[in-house]
Amino acid sequence: MPELPEVEVVRLGLAPAVTDAVVTAVDVFDERALTRHDRTRGDFAARLVGRRMSEPQRRGKFLWVPLEPLVGRLAEGEWRPDAVLAHLGMTGQLLLREAWARPDDEPHVRMRIELRHPSLGELAVFFRDQRTFGSLALDELIATDAGDAVPGQVSHIARDPLDPLFDDRAFLSALTLKNSAIKRVLLDQGAISGVGNIYADEALWAARIHPEQPANTLSRAKAKLLLAEIRVVLAKALTEGGTSFDAQYVNVNGQAGYFAHSLNAYGRQGTPCPRCGAPIVRVSFMNRSSHFCPRDQRLR
């Protein structure tokens, strides 16, 4: 599910159920669900049980749930992480379930986290993930220069374009230094986070930019237009609940999003460009695909 709008849909769905809830049990069915967790620092389940969660946060495609500080003296060698971090990879899902729901009644449930919520009572969060590129981890929050805090594993990525503190000027000037294809830069989470293959293609289509146009050849005006279109497409996808092609992307209640109906380029090879009518083409790019209109997204 995993670009910014889909992850934000999950965050919004998770919030009322996990905020103020206490973790009562953790069952890990597949260790690959913990590939991002550094187990030399402590066992995931043991360190998480008993902790109270606060409101879920997100940067780009990373989601995390801060944990309320523990009181009392730190035991010798004790590690007290302050967030549960999640990345959904290609097919990860976080699903709200009744406490009695059985994990083996559905495929690919890699982990179950049981919670006690002060008003909702007992409930469970299932982490499902067909391809196992997603994972959870315990992590420490690190303060940023701007005064907010992000997990250590998130500190290397840029802010996302829906973050009020995203630095437009820094992003635009970074583009002038990069000789890479603009689409490659959009997918580089260190330059701008939250954009993946779908929304990169959609934003480039909207801004009429060829995906392989070198970033440093874009005019300032064109680059600003692209950034604006990125924000438009991400925000619109969010209001429509994200993009679902199949059952892989669903919200915390298992429901699909509607944005697939609004796609102009992604996955639409052979169909007329909604703007000019020329057939959309699909080309291989970076071990995946780019979709664009060959008539009004010309390489210059």
Q: Which residues are catalytic?
A: 2-3, 61, 288
Judged by CB, which is closer to DNA: 212, or 296? Answer: 212
Half-sphere exposure of 107 (CA within 13 A, CB side): 6
Q: CB–CB of 280/292 below 8 Å?
A: yes
- Per CB under 7 A, 198 contacts DNA: yes
- Per CB under 7 A, 13 contacts DNA: no
Which one of 80, 178, 231, 295 is in contact with DNA (CB under 7 A)?
178
The minimum distance between CB 17 and DNA, in angstroms, equals 22
Helix (H, G, I), strand (E, B) or coil at 49: coil
Burial of 23 (0-12, 13-18, 19+ CB in 10 A): buried
Judged by CB, which is closer to DNA: 85, or 273? Answer: 85
Stretch that binds DNA, among 37-45, 68-76, 115-123, 245-253 (CB under 7 A): 245-253
Number of H helices, E strands in the chain: 6, 12
| Contact pattern for DNA over residues 49 through 68, marking x by CB under 7 A | -----------xx-------
The minimum distance between CB 215 and DNA, in angstroms, equals 8
Q: Which two tokens stand for residue 145?
A: 């220069």
Distances (CA, A) of 248 to 27, 101, 167, 236: 22, 20, 32, 20
Which one of 44, 205, 249, 292 is in contact with DNA (CB under 7 A)?
249
Q: What does the binding site for DNA look like in residue numbers (CB under 7 A)?
A: 1-3, 6, 32, 60-61, 87, 89-91, 107-108, 130-133, 153, 156-157, 177-181, 184, 187, 189, 193, 196-198, 242-246, 248-249, 284, 286-289
